Amino acid sequence: MNAVSTLPDDLDDALEASLGRFPTTELTRSVQTLIRQYREGFDRSVPALSSEAAVAAYAGYRMPATYSAVRAALRQVALLAPGFVPETQMDVGGGTGSALWAASAVWPTLRTATVLEQSPSAIAFGRRLAGHAPAAAVREARWQQAFVDRDAPAPAADLVTMSYVLGELSPAVQEDVIGSLARGAARGSGMLVIVEPGTPAGYVRIAAARRLLAASGLHVVAPCPHDGECPIRPGQDWCHFAVRLNRTALHRRIKDGTLSFEDEKFSYVAASARPWPRAESRILRHPLKRKGLVTLRLCTAEDGLADRPVSKRQGETYREARDAVWGDAWPADRESTSPAG
């Protein structure tokens, strides 16, 4: 899962052109303001992206990372459920459209998409970016101003996405929103995918969402190999993954960084009313590689967390373990099992 990610050329070009309308110094100042708001907290009744400059700064600062994380999560779903061929998408709290672009990259079958976002400035910016997309589902997406709160109706689409949103909601509203999403998913055979930052707090939100989804009768598709209680104990560790992405020169200037890449850590859960196949186990850490031996830290359906050694004597399995990366399903040659099994 942690291969290097790049933005689609059309999105990269559109983002560069849109950011070019603002002085880099203004974007950098806006980025620092946003960072401070998210660290110190902000008024949840007021959109964080309340101005054109703030939206542009956010898009330049975060959109490459959020796109890459969402695409990585969706790709794991696609690998496990090749029969899932969505034609419609609803993106809840879509910001400037990262999940819209990511879903189209994973599933070119998408025909129509709707983005729900509360900030008019984010909608305008996202719509302008989407106008450069080659895929009609992105280019002609419907952008609708809507608040993500307990009064929001249950969305209906083949694919429902919500990324980097829960952390902006109070715990009580988080539960109501997840409940609404679960009710919508339970009425059809579509897929619900929720992505959060790969921090301890982000994992806690994903774990809580996972419990609510399972309690609503949905089947967990990814990353978990089971519907049972998460074996990771809060406060001791957290389930997260990572994707590496290239930074453009403008991206580095906005972030005041020098490295040509960054690693975006994320946590996610995908669930469906339909029992899709899922991984036999999931690799939770970078494989530990020694001469003639690879040790995999796994989340398993039967044994919870387990460290599995794979020796050179195991031939092809050993070679697969050498190639395996953090976040992959394991074993590689038996990628999925029936949820009922």
**137-185 pLDDT tens trace:** 999 999 999 989 888 777 889 999 999 999 989 999 999 999 999 999 9
Tell me the pLDDT tens digit for each residue of 257-277. 667 788 999 999 999 999 999
Fold of 4-272: Rossmann fold (3.40.50)
What is the 8-class DSSP label of residue 314?
A: G
Average pLDDT over residues 37-44: 63
64: cis peptide before it, omega within 30°? Answer: no
Q: How confident is the model at residue 23 (pLDDT cuts 50, 70, 90)?
A: confident
Average pLDDT over residues 189-209: 96
Reported pTM: 0.92
Q: How confident is the model at residue 339 (pLDDT cuts 50, 70, 90)?
A: very low
Domain spans in the chain, listed from the N-terminal domain onward: 4-272, 281-330
Average pLDDT over residues 100-129: 96
CA atoms of 307 and 299, how far apart (whole Å): 9
Q: How confident is the model at residue 334 (pLDDT cuts 50, 70, 90)?
A: very low
CA atoms of 269 and 276, how far apart (whole Å): 14
Average pLDDT over residues 55-83: 94
277: cis peptide before it, omega within 30°? Answer: no
Query: Based on the number of CB atoms within 10 Å of its own CB, is 39 exposed (0-12), middle (13-18) or buried (19 or more)?
Result: exposed
